[in-house]
Homo-oligomer: A and B are copies of this chain.
Amino acid sequence: MSELRRDPIGGRWVIVDTDHPAKPEDFEHEPNVWKGGNCPFCPGSEALTPPEIEAFRDPSTRPNTPGWQVRVVSNKFPALQIEGELDRRGLGLYDMSNGIGAHEVLIDTPYHNKDIPDLLNHEIEQIITMSCRRSIDLFKDKRFKYILLFKNFGPAAGASLEHPHTQIIALPMVPKNAMEELKGCQNYFEYRERCIYCDMIKQELQDKERVIMENKYFLSFCPFVSRFPFEVRIIPKKHNSYYCHMHVDEVPELAAILKETIAKIKNVFASPAYNLMVHSAPVTNDDGIEYFHWHIEIMPKLTRVAGFEWGSGFYLVPTPPELAAKYLREK
Contacts and interface: CB of A to CB of B under 8 A. Distances in A.
B276 A307 contact: yes
Contacts of A189: none
Nearest to A304: B158
A62 interface: no
Interface in A146-172: 146, 148, 150-152, 155-159, 167, 169, 171-172
A48 interface: no
Contacts of A3: 96-99
Contacts of A310: 150, 227, 275, 277, 297, 299
A169 B176 CA distance: 26
Question: Chain copies in the assembly?
Answer: 2
Interface string A82-112: 0010000001111111111000000000000
A152 B169 CA distance: 32
Nearest to A146: B312
Nearest to A96: B5
A279 B5 contact: no
Interface residues of A, number: 76
A251 interface: no
Interface string A293-331: 000010100001111101111101000000000000000
A2 B77 CA distance: 11
Contacts of A196: 93
Contacts of A15: 79-80, 99
B84 A1 contact: yes
Given A80-B15, A157-B306, A4 B96 contact: yes
Interface stretch (A6-14, A52-60, A133-141, A212-220): A6-14
Contacts of A42: none
A81 interface: yes
A4 B99 contact: yes
A178 interface: yes
B175 A307 contact: no
A2 B80 contact: yes
A307 B158 contact: yes
Contact of A95 (B6, B92, B96, B307): B6
Contacts of A199: 93
Contacts of A98: 1, 3-4
A39 interface: no
Interface of A: 1-6, 8, 10-13, 15, 17, 20, 77, 79-81, 84, 91-100, 146, 148, 150-152, 155-159, 167, 169, 171-173, 175-180, 196, 199-200, 203, 207, 224-225, 227, 275-279, 297, 299, 304-308, 310-314, 316
5 contacts: A1-B99, A13-B171, A152-B307, A155-B304, A275-B311
